[in-house]
Chain A
Amino acid sequence: MKFSYFPGCSLKGTGRAYEESLLAVCRALGVEVLELDDWNCCGATAYMAVSEAAGYMMNTRNLALAERDSHELLAPCNACYLSLKKTQHYIAEYPSVAAQATGALAAEKLSYTGKVKVRHPLDVLVNDVGLPAIKKAVKQPLKGFKVAPYYGCQIVRPFAEFDDQQNPVLMDKLFQALGAEVVRYPLKTRCCGGSLTGTLGEVGQRLSFILLNEAQRRGATCVATVCPLCQFNLDSYQAEMSRQWSPVRMPVVYFTQLLGLALGLDEKALGLQRCIVPLPAQEVHA
């Protein structure tokens, strides 16, 4: 099983722990991952807001690079995943966008046919590697973990390629397979605040707080995410939220970190030390 890998900016910055844990987990499960050579920004930051066309062109280049490697393209950051999907959709549906893309790529002697498939690691790990294989590889079942699975918005809206749009369940199934208890978490696709946390801090934090408070109320011991921005928003401002609304303290980890723990991988190798709110030691060494 071989994939081209598009980390995007987050996995090299605030989301380093996601990259570390993802690569470690893939190694352990025999999924070969090759970082895309000379990749560029996915355009999800300011591009899409200022000039959608420019955003699509950025993605087209990454897609063309991936086609050259002829593997499926693994995009762990939800924002990258969605921008790539959106670009593919627009190129397929609108000839004017397709023509623009072809022109832009010609400058670099690249081409894009539309055949490359963009995949999210949650999809790959649960559906391609499969729960039976993962179960077999578990060395330390996640006993005592009560996980609130938080999916965020971008892997279910507007496209829902690999899970139910209104009620995604892949993470629920994964953690159950790892031996953890999954709390019923109805806010699993509600907004984390997104980039509002950076622009209208209080509004964004309020949205994050609702998610954390609910997880706490339901007795979760940690929240698991599939997206670097969700993880960042939920993890980073808990002190402010506690001051502003009510006390909240909830470790927020990547699903790959929990998977890594269950596979018996080293805490450091999974980047767990990077969490602002640490996962309690007794859980890690349970």
Chain B
Amino acid sequence: MKQPTNGEARIGFYVCHCGTNIAGVVNVAAVAQYAAQLPGVVVSRDYKYMCSDPGQELIQTDIKEHQLNRVVVASCSPLLHEHTFRTACEKGGLNPFCFQMVNIREHDSWVHEPGDAATEKAKALVRAAVKRVALHTPLEVKRTRIHPDVLVVGGGIAGIQAALTIANGGQNVYLVEREPTIGGHMAKFDKTFPTLDCAACILTPKMSAVASHPNIKLWTYSEVVKVDGFVGNYKVQVRRKPRYVNEELCVGCAKCVDACVYKEEKFEDEFNEGLAKRKPVYLPFPQATPPVVVFDPDACIQLKTGKCKKSCLEACDRNAIIFDQKPETKEIEVGTIILATGFRTFDATRLPQYGFGTLPNVYTSLQIERMVNASGPTDGHIMLKDGRTPKAVGIIHCIGSRDNRTNRWCSRVCCMYSMKLAHLIKQHTGAEVFNFYIDIRAPGKGYEEFYGPLPARMDFRERRRQGEMGGQRHDRKAARPRPARPARQTPAVG
């Protein structure tokens, strides 16, 4: 590879029209003329598309004909074509790092109105680049070692699949999950859209594959607290929260749960979205992975006061319970980090007009997911708080979405899971199902086909923005929400 001469810089300058993207705003001919007079510039041209083959050949030919040792291209963002032009320089026999790119598209023509000011700005950017490129020294490309291990943050279906794919490729993976078990939201679901496939049948084998994979180190009930280092070589600190159980010894037999001094389940069960109760020591759900119980330090009498008769200790024949377990910080080195931290649902109490939290039979979608799940708190029965089966169910879409006061964007999933739940509710109860929506957005493979057959069996109605839940009605006819109409401009009256 030819090195630039140590003496005088011989610079080739090129300004790109980018069709009308740049030339429609910036006077490119004037920029080329201006650059021609700058110190060290030997050749200065404007060209319609510098990134095209003829454009690149222009650079290569000029390098040879004019003995250029530096090249400047004023065009688009380096993210798009820096590599293109460096390669062109290299093909012309120049060290690729003796090239400097000037962004006069994203930084100039696209953000300014046509006129002299935009041209002047382009000239200023070009002047700086020409001065700078004279100072460039040739660089050599080196290969350096990156750490082969991978950290995956989040043990939901995305993190699980990522970990398995990488581990099957032969790399070591650390899978870190905040909750006591992996599985994430999908573990709560009964069916998936748009095929009504069995969610557990997809997820559970993957969960156990993660737990037993020789290349995967699974740390549940743990959180990443610090990341140091640089691309390819990170140092990560992971805090392992105490679950007060030896993970190696516990087999999840749950004898401690039976023996707990609390005979009744008394504490809110997070996994069941508050629809059920659990004890201070619990297994989140039967297929929890790892199958290890966890103690809730805010509920367990021993952990709170140290004054419990600890019947759980006696019940555990493997001596796995460690009440004085401390949090532990692990430090690991990885080359790559995958974030698969999932989502939180919207807090529906922020929109009190829909009655969540104040009216007894208003549920969130995740609560209904638990209710329709055969292993959920109601064994798959959809029921009202008083135990009756509902005769009519309304599903309100877009809560917290597409609204200037909450999230302005579409969640992109609520149409589909609402349709899925509508289908399951219909199947489980035979109830009339009403969907209140703003628009139906079903833009995925098989989604429209899933939506298509539904309206024949179900009532889809455009959702009224000003809607409000009126509470439970006694007569069924009145329980039908009224057909909705979009808000119109109010006629003025006096």
Residues of A near any B CB (own CB < 8 A)? 8-10, 41-45, 48-49, 55, 77, 79-80, 82-83, 153-154, 157-158, 164-167, 184, 186-190, 194-195, 214, 229
**Chain A residue with minimal CB distance to B403?**
A166
A167-B468, A186-B469 given; A79·B492 CB < 8 A: yes
Of the candidates B351, B352, B471, B493, the one whose C-beta lies within 8 Å of that of A194 is: B493
Q: Are A195 and B351 in contact (CB under 8 A)?
A: no
Q: How far is the CA of A231 from the CA of B83 in the complex (A)?
A: 72
Of the candidates B466, B491, B492, the one whose C-beta lies within 8 Å of that of A166 is: B466
Q: What's the nearest-Cβ distance from chain B to residue A209, in Å? A: 14
Q: List 14 A-B contacts (CB under 8 A).
A: A44-B493, A49-B491, A49-B492, A79-B494, A80-B494, A153-B490, A157-B489, A157-B490, A165-B466, A166-B466, A166-B467, A167-B351, A187-B470, A195-B491
Q: Are B494 and A10 in contact (CB under 8 A)?
A: yes
Q: Are A44 and B494 in contact (CB under 8 A)?
A: yes
Interface residues of B in 450-494 (CB under 8 A from A): 465-471, 487, 489-494
Of the candidates B353, B490, B494, the one whose C-beta lies within 8 Å of that of A8 is: B494
Of the candidates B469, B470, B487, B492, the one whose C-beta lies within 8 Å of that of A44 is: B492
**Chain B residue with minimal CB distance to A42?**
B494
> Which B residues lie within 8 Å of A189 (CB)?
466
Q: How far is the CA of A48 from the CA of B492 in the complex (A)?
A: 7
> Which B residues lie within 8 Å of A80 (CB)?
494
A166-B466, A167-B468, A186-B469 given; A9·B490 CB < 8 A: no
Q: Are A45 and B494 in contact (CB under 8 A)?
A: yes
User: How many residues on B have C-beta within 8 angstroms of the other chain's C-beta atoms?
Assistant: 18
| Most chain A C-beta atoms within 10 Å of own C-beta, residue among B352, B466, B487 | B466
Residues of B near any A CB (own CB < 8 A)? 351-353, 405, 465-471, 487, 489-494
Q: How far is the CA of A153 from the CA of B487 in the complex (A)?
A: 10
| Most chain A C-beta atoms within 10 Å of own C-beta, residue among B352, B465, B468 | B468
Q: What's the nearest-Cβ distance from chain B to residue A158, in Å? A: 7
Q: Are B489 and A41 in contact (CB under 8 A)?
A: no
> Which A residues lie within 8 Å of B494 (CB)?
8-10, 41-42, 44-45, 77, 79-80, 229
Q: Are B492 and A186 in contact (CB under 8 A)?
A: no
Interface of A is mostly: loop
Q: How far is the CA of A41 from the CA of B469 in the complex (A)?
A: 38
Q: How far is the CA of A42 from the CA of B493 in the complex (A)?
A: 10
**Chain B residue with minimal CB distance to A9?**
B494
> Which A residues lie within 8 Å of B471 (CB)?
184, 186
- Please give me the 10 A-B residue pairs with the lowest Cβ-Cβ distance, nearest first: A167-B353, A186-B468, A44-B492, A45-B494, A44-B494, A186-B470, A48-B492, A195-B493, A153-B490, A79-B494
Inter-chain pairs besides A45-B494, A186-B468, 13 sampled, C-beta below 8 Å: A10-B494, A44-B492, A48-B491, A79-B492, A157-B466, A157-B487, A166-B465, A166-B466, A167-B351, A186-B469, A187-B468, A190-B466, A214-B470
Q: Are A229 and B493 in contact (CB under 8 A)?
A: yes
**Chain B residue with minimal CB distance to A168?**
B353
> Which B residues lie within 8 Å of A48 (CB)?
491-492
> Which B residues lie within 8 Å of A42 (CB)?
494
Q: What's the nearest-Cβ distance from chain B to residue A12, in Å? A: 11
Interface of B is mostly: loop
> Which A residues lie within 8 Å of B469 (CB)?
186
| Most chain A C-beta atoms within 10 Å of own C-beta, residue among B352, B405, B490, B493 | B493
> Which A residues lie within 8 Å of B353 (CB)?
166-167, 186
> Which B residues lie within 8 Å of A194 (CB)?
490-491, 493
Q: How far is the CA of A187 from the CA of B471 in the complex (A)?
A: 12
Q: Are B351 and A82 in contact (CB under 8 A)?
A: no
Q: How far is the CA of A80 from the CA of B494 in the complex (A)?
A: 7
Q: What's the nearest-Cβ distance from chain B to residue A263, in Å? A: 29
Q: How far is the CA of A154 from the CA of B491 in the complex (A)?
A: 9
> Which B residues lie within 8 Å of A49 (CB)?
491-492
Q: Are A167 and B493 in contact (CB under 8 A)?
A: no
> Which A residues lie within 8 Å of B468 (CB)?
166-167, 186-188
Q: How far is the CA of A132 from the CA of B487 in the complex (A)?
A: 35
> Which A residues lie within 8 Å of B470 (CB)?
184, 186-187, 214
Q: Are B492 and A83 in contact (CB under 8 A)?
A: yes
Q: Are A45 and B493 in contact (CB under 8 A)?
A: yes
> Which B residues lie within 8 Å of A190 (CB)?
466
Q: Are B490 and A154 in contact (CB under 8 A)?
A: yes
> Which B residues lie within 8 Å of A8 (CB)?
494
**Chain B residue with minimal CB distance to A55?**
B492
Q: Are A82 and B490 in contact (CB under 8 A)?
A: yes
Q: What's the nearest-Cβ distance from chain A to residue B73, in Å? A: 44
Q: What's the nearest-Cβ distance from chain B to residue A191, in Å? A: 8
| Most chain B C-beta atoms within 10 Å of own C-beta, residue among A157, A164, A166, A190 | A166
Q: How far is the CA of A189 from the CA of B464 in the complex (A)?
A: 12
> Which A residues lie within 8 Å of B490 (CB)?
82, 153-154, 157-158, 194
Q: What's the nearest-Cβ distance from chain B to residue A144, in Å? A: 22
A166-B465, A166-B468, A184-B471 given; A158·B489 CB < 8 A: yes
A184-B471, A186-B469, A186-B470 given; A167·B492 CB < 8 A: no
Q: How far is the CA of A60 from the CA of B373 in the complex (A)?
A: 62
Q: How far is the CA of A87 from the CA of B378 in the complex (A)?
A: 57
> Which B residues lie within 8 Å of A44 (CB)?
492-494
**Chain A residue with minimal CB distance to B482?**
A210
Q: Are B489 and A79 in contact (CB under 8 A)?
A: no
> Which A residues lie within 8 Å of B405 (CB)?
164-165
Q: How far is the CA of A179 from the CA of B362 in the complex (A)?
A: 29
> Which A residues lie within 8 Å of B489 (CB)?
157-158
Q: How far is the CA of A279 from the CA of B469 in the complex (A)?
A: 29
> Which B residues lie within 8 Å of A195 (CB)?
491, 493
> Which A residues lie within 8 Å of B352 (CB)?
167
Q: What's the nearest-Cβ distance from chain A to residue B369, in Å? A: 26
Q: How far is the CA of A10 from the CA of B492 in the complex (A)?
A: 13
Q: What's the nearest-Cβ distance from chain B to residue A80, in Å? A: 7
> Which B residues lie within 8 Å of A229 (CB)?
493-494
> Which A residues lie within 8 Å of B467 (CB)?
166
Q: How far is the CA of A44 from the CA of B492 in the complex (A)?
A: 5
Q: How far is the CA of A43 from the CA of B491 in the complex (A)?
A: 12
Q: What's the nearest-Cβ distance from chain B to residue A239, in Å? A: 22
Q: How far is the CA of A9 from the CA of B352 in the complex (A)?
A: 36
Q: How far is the CA of A166 from the CA of B493 in the complex (A)?
A: 21
Q: What's the nearest-Cβ distance from chain B to residue A206, in Å? A: 12
Q: How far is the CA of A277 from the CA of B469 in the complex (A)?
A: 29
> Which B residues lie within 8 Å of A43 (CB)?
492
Q: What's the nearest-Cβ distance from chain A to residue B450, in Å? A: 30
> Which A residues lie within 8 Å of B493 (CB)?
44-45, 79, 194-195, 229
> Which B residues lie within 8 Å of A167 (CB)?
351-353, 468
> Which A residues lie within 8 Å of B465 (CB)?
166
Q: How far is the CA of A243 from the CA of B469 in the complex (A)?
A: 29
> Which B residues lie within 8 Å of A184 (CB)?
470-471
Q: What's the nearest-Cβ distance from chain A to residue B478, in Å? A: 9
**Chain B residue with minimal CB distance to A43?**
B492
Q: How far is the CA of A6 from the CA of B470 in the complex (A)?
A: 36
> Which B residues lie within 8 Å of A214 (CB)?
470
